[in-house]
Amino acid sequence: MKAGRFVLIVLFLLSLVSFNTSSSKAEAFTAYVSGITMQNLSGSSAEVTVSYYDQTGSSVTNTTDTIDPYGVKDYATVPTNTGFKGSVVISSDQQIGAVSTLRGDNKGRGAYVGYSSGSTSISLPILMKNWGSSSWNTWVSVQNVGNEDATITMDYAACTGTSDKSVTGVKPYTMVTFNQATESCFTNAKVLTSGVITSTQPIVAVVVQESSIVNSMLVSPGFSSGDTAPVMPLMNSNNPDTTGWRTAINVFNNGSSDTDVTMTYINASDGSTCTETQTVPSKSAKTFAGNNLIVGPPAGVTTSCTIGARIVGSAYISGNSANQPLMATVNQDRGSLASAYGALYPSSGTPKVVFPQIQDRNGAASQWASSFMLMNVSDHTVYVKCTFANSTYAPESGPIDSYKAWENLQRGNISAGYVGSGQCTAYTDSSYNTVDSSAKIVAVVNIRGTGTGLYDLMMSYEGLNVTP
DSSP 359: E
What is the predicted pLDDT for the residue at 454?
60
Cα separation of 18 and 292, whole Å?
38
**Residues 381 and 375 sit within 8 Å (Cβ to Cβ):** no
Partners of 171 in the beta sheet? none
Decide: helix, strand or coil at residue 181.
helix
Q: Convert the pLDDT of each residue in 133-167 to its tens digit.
A: 999 999 999 999 999 999 999 999 999 876 788 99
Assign domain 4-113 to its CATH architecture: Sandwich (2.60)
Distance CA 131, CA 133 (A): 7
Tell me the pLDDT of the chain averaged across its residues.
90
DSSP 294: T
Bond into 395 cis (ω within 30):
no
Give, rounded to a whole angstrom, the gap between the first and last alpha carbons of the chain: 25
Q: Residue 145: CA atoms inside 13 Å, Cβ hemisphere, count?
A: 27
DSSP strands (E only) in 343-456: 352-360, 369-376, 382-388, 396-400, 405-409, 418-427, 441-448
Tens digits of residue pLDDT in 86-130: 888 888 888 889 999 888 767 778 999 988 889 999 999 999 999
198 and 319 Cβ atoms separated by less than 8 Å: no
Residue 15 has pLDDT above 60, yes or no: no
DSSP string, 210-250: EETTTTEEEEEE-BS--BSS-EEEEEEESBSSTTSBEEEEE
Residues 421 and 300: beta-carbon distance below 8 Å: no
Domain(s) of CATH 2.60.290.11: residues in the chain: 4-113, 119-221
Residue 275 to residue 253: CA distance in whole angstroms: 19
- State the CATH class of domain 119-221: mainly beta
pLDDT in tens, 437-450: 999 999 999 999 88
Three-class DSSP category at 364: coil
In whole angstroms, what is the distance from residue 127 CA to residue 107 CA?
Answer: 21
**Is 244's pLDDT higher than 80?**
yes
Mean pLDDT value across residues 421-446: 98
Q: Which residues are registered as beta bridge partners of 396?
A: 385
Question: Is the pTM here over 0.85, yes or no?
Answer: yes
- Topology given in CATH for the domain delimited by 349-466: Hypothetical Protein Tm1070; Chain: A (2.60.290)
